[in-house]
Structure 1
Amino acid sequence: MRNFMFDFDGTLADSGEVCTIATQKAFIKNHLPAPTKQQVLDYMGLPIETFFPMLAPQASSKVLDQLFDDFRMYCTQFEDSGTKLFDGIVPTLKSLHDAGKQLFILSSNSSTTIQHHLERFKIDHLFNEIVGSDMVKNFKPDPESVNRVVHDFSLQRYQSVMIGDARYDLQMGKNAAVQTCGATWGAFNVASLRDEQPNYLINHPQQLLNI
């Protein structure tokens, strides 16, 4: 592989606790039953615009908009203390970069949030492009994010791989006709990754150096 497309939350960064706390607090603030940690983690990989309506199907558009705002507010409060890179991520990214590979992040998080964390961890220079949920019209598993970087960087799809911890990442990769790689180290549901039959299923970031 020459082109590595990463999900961020749950793949590069361990941030599940932040997402869970922010979601539960936002729901409670808006007088809605707080979803369980398992419910929140199962939807990680999708943007909140997609999965909040699933968790609160009776909520009006006005309430949903308030939920989105409150979620982002709580994330801002907890994201720095609650977000860290998984072990082995930094040396793996540096090795890929030094080998001339092109690295991208395709995330359901906002591009500004991702950029903030990349700068905080001093790895922003390793990536060619970040595509956040605020930069596309169609969210995962739609292939828009992948197609965007394939087009902008004139990538060969057979030399490109989408790496993620959630089934939605793998579905997006499949829909874009690139290779797919399930990352189990941050996955909430490894069985769901296997069910997608990815081209690769790996347990450690360093294994990316051999695909």
Structure 2
Amino acid sequence: MDYKAYLFDFDYTLANSEKGIVMCFQHVFERNGFKGIEEDAIKKTIGLTLEEAFMLLTGIKDRETVAGYRKQYVEKSDEVMVANTKLFPEALPMLRKLKKQGVKTGIISTKYRYRIESTIRLYGMDELIDLVIGGEDVETAKPSPEGVWKALDRLKCGREETLYIGDSLVDARTAQNAGVHFAAVTTGTTTAADFETVPHVSVMENLSELVK
């Protein structure tokens, strides 16, 4: 099926930010005396909001405390994140092919928009991405459909004309809640078998399969 709009998650879908993300979490954990939180556990929270990730990893539910951790994370992230974010090699060729087809493209992420835009500028992707909706642009994070619906409104595209591409079950549920089609990519920590439990049009090993 041909789509008029292709919307992407960011972390583990278009780019690998895990090095920077792990560094930021470890910085907060060391600063606050947490021990024994494994890297793999951190990686499995990528795609959640920072608040959700800190609650899951530390077991702390007090929102004021968690907000303090998020602030420390963001401060460290301002220093290290963009330099430690690498686009997957298939991302730029895939986006160029999509733009040649005349379709609309966007990014819907829990990551801050300004951080994603810094990466877009770094890789010269400005003309390949029509819009970015980050965590600060919505009232409710994924799997809420809010970000997707905002994108469709701005791109003037219908739900049936739109494909959302992501690496996690949260992304799959976001697409389902928004009423758009979903394509999974296994470049994150979610396996092809995991995606069999949710509606999808395809499960891809990497983004090059999107434009075959």
Q: Is the 8 A contact 2:60 2:66 kept in 1?
A: no
1:50/1:203 Cα in 2 relative to 1: closer, same or farther (>3 Å)? Answer: same
Aligned to 1:139: 141
> How far 1:206 sits from its partner (Å)?
1.8
Q: Is the 8 A contact 2:142 2:170 kept in 1?
A: yes
1:203/1:58 Cα in 2 relative to 1: closer, same or farther (>3 Å)? Answer: closer
SS at match of 1:100: coil
Aligned to 1:35: 37
Aligned to 2:73: 71
> How far 1:102 sits from its partner (Å)?
0.3
> How far 1:5 sits from its partner (Å)?
0.3
SS at match of 2:106: strand
SS at match of 1:63: helix
Aligned to 2:84: 82
Q: Distance in 2 between matches of 1:59 and 1:31?
A: 17
CA RMSD of aligned residues (A): 1.5
Aligned to 1:96: 98
Match of 1:8 among 7, 10, 25: 10
Q: Is the 8 A contact 1:24 1:34 kept in 2?
A: no
> How far 1:59 sits from its partner (Å)?
5.2
> How far 1:17 sits from its partner (Å)?
1.8
> How far 1:92 sits from its partner (Å)?
0.8
Q: Which amino acid aligns with 1:87?
A: P
> How far 1:127 sits from its partner (Å)?
1.3
Match of 2:180 among 174, 178, 193: 178
> How far 1:61 sits from its partner (Å)?
3.1
Aligned to 2:23: 21
1:33/1:60 Cα in 2 relative to 1: closer, same or farther (>3 Å)? Answer: farther
SS at match of 2:196: helix
> How far 1:32 sits from its partner (Å)?
2.7
SS at match of 2:81: helix
Aligned to 2:111: 109
Q: Which amino acid aligns with 1:94?
A: R
Aligned to 1:196: 198
1:63/1:157 Cα in 2 relative to 1: closer, same or farther (>3 Å)? Answer: same
Give the TM-score normalised by the residue count of structure 1.
0.92
Consecutive unaligned residues in structure 2, runs of 5 or more: none
Percent of matched pairs sharing the same residue: 22
> How far 1:34 sits from its partner (Å)?
5.2
Q: Distance in 2 between matches of 1:194 and 1:28?
A: 38
Give the TM-score normalised by the residue count of structure 2.
0.92
Consecutive unaligned residues in structure 1, runs of 5 or more: none
Q: Distance in 1 between matches of 2:16 and 2:70?
A: 21
Deviates more, 1:99-108 or 1:42-51: 42-51
The count of residues paired between Structure 1 and Structure 2 equals 209
Q: Distance in 2 between matches of 1:41 and 1:130?
A: 23
Q: Deviations over 1:82-102 (max 9, x none)?
A: 211101111110110111010
Q: Deviations over 1:33-86 (max 9, x none)?
A: 353222112121111022212222335333212211111122222223321110
Deviates more, 1:171-180 or 1:68-77: 68-77
Q: Distance in 2 between matches of 1:117 and 1:168?
A: 23
Q: Distance in 1 between matches of 2:54 and 2:87?
A: 26
